[in-house]
Amino acid sequence: MQRLTTSRVLRIVFYIILAVILVIQIYPIFWVLTSSFKTADDMAFLPPYAMPTGLFWGNFEKALFHSSLMRYFLNSVLVAVGVLAGLIVLGAPAAYAISKIRFRQSEHLLSFFLMGMMIPIFACLIPMFQIYNTMGLRNTYLSLILPQAGFGLPMCIYLYTGFMKFVPNSLMEAATMDGATNFQVFLKIIFPMAKNSTITIIIYNFVNIWNEFTYANTFMTKSNMKTLPVGLNDFVGEMGRRDWGATFAAIVLAILPTLIIYFFLNKNVMEGMAAGAVKD
């Protein structure tokens, strides 16, 4: 009886701690969302934690049509698409070669790629700035796509390799006997089976790309080339003293894509991270 009581107390304490952590995680998003619907009077006279007196959509109208937010949004989309395409086009074939094509030092090649995860991005910032400045790549999408694709490639290859090494070699042998080349085996058999791993890589990297600030703040100096994180920083500096509601509305619009993608593809991410999962 005493053991049962102790177990129940521990369970209650666990749920209380879990609820506190959940509130801490959710409250900032809730606060930004509610603040985006507040009028100027609500901002001035209501406490920050208070609910708005009504749903004021004027803040979103100002953020969408009276600022450069949509241009920043477009820039972030183009950079994200470029980086993700580069990761998949380069990472999947490299993982296939490491895990399924036998050649000398193939086992050490993965370790070589993973060494890239140990290099801090700030150590390469000044050399990249000088190189991009010399080559005229500043204020171009390539100046953001190349470094993010390069630093994201080790994890991409690692996740693909972790999946592909569990794919039975008998599938490849059967396809080879039917006359398929290595490229056809990869393109028509291995890569489609790695759907969950691909989705995991897309979501994992999309969040980092969408929120990336360092490269965008360093390499993008023209206003029309800025991405959302840098653009939001200018947005606050330009409008924050006059209209916090529009600023919060811009933040809500900026975080919506990551939330939507995660909620719709969360199941695929969990399956893609599971070790040894070889079926979709």
pLDDT given for residue 238 in this prediction? 52
Indicate the average pLDDT of the chain. 84
| Better pLDDT: 240 or 74 | 74
Tell me the C-alpha distance between 124 and 35, whole Å: 39
Tell me the pLDDT band of 275, cut-offs 50, 70 and 90: very low
* CA separation for the pair 125, 86 (Å, rounded): 20
d(CA 76, CA 199): 19
Sorted by sequence, the CB contacts under 8 Å of residue 271 that are 6+ apart come out as 196, 277, 280
Q: Quick one: pLDDT band at residue 2, thresholds 50, 70, 90?
A: low
Q: For the chain, give the percent of residues with pLDDT over 70.
A: 89
Model confidence at 149: pLDDT above 70: yes
Domains of the chain: 2-59 (no CATH), 66-273 (1.10.3720.10)
pLDDT tens digits for range 58-70: 888 888 888 888 9
Looking at residue 209, what is its pLDDT?
Answer: 93
SS (H, E, C) the chain: CHHHHHHHHHHHHHHHHHHHHHHHHHHHHHHHHHHCCCCHHHHHHCCCCCCCCCCCCHHHHHHHHCCCHHHHHHHHHHHHHHHHHHHHHHHHHHHHHHHHCCCCCHHHHHHHHHHHHHCCHHHHHHHHHHHHHHHCCCCCCHHHHHHHHHHHHHHHHHHHHHHHCCCCHHHHHHHHHCCCCHHHHHHHHHHHHCHHHHHHHHHHHHHHHHCCCHHHHHHCCCHHHCCHHHHHHHHHHHHCCCCHHHHHHHHHHHHHHHHHHHHHHHHHHHHHHCCCCCCC
CA distances from 160 to 94, 116, 183, 207 (A): 9, 16, 16, 19
- pLDDT tens sequence across 3-60: 557 778 888 888 999 999 998 988 888 888 888 888 888 887 888 778 888 888 888 8
CA distance 4 to 230: 55
Read off the tokens for 263.
């909620």
Q: Which residue type occupies 147?
A: P
Q: What is the pLDDT of residue 114?
A: 84
Q: What is the pTM of this model?
A: 0.83
Contact predicate 219/144, CB 8 Å: yes
C-alpha 166/C-alpha 57 separation (Å) is 51
How far is 44 from 7, CA to CA, in rounded Å? Answer: 49
Angle at 79 between CA 203 and CA 206, to 5 degrees: 10
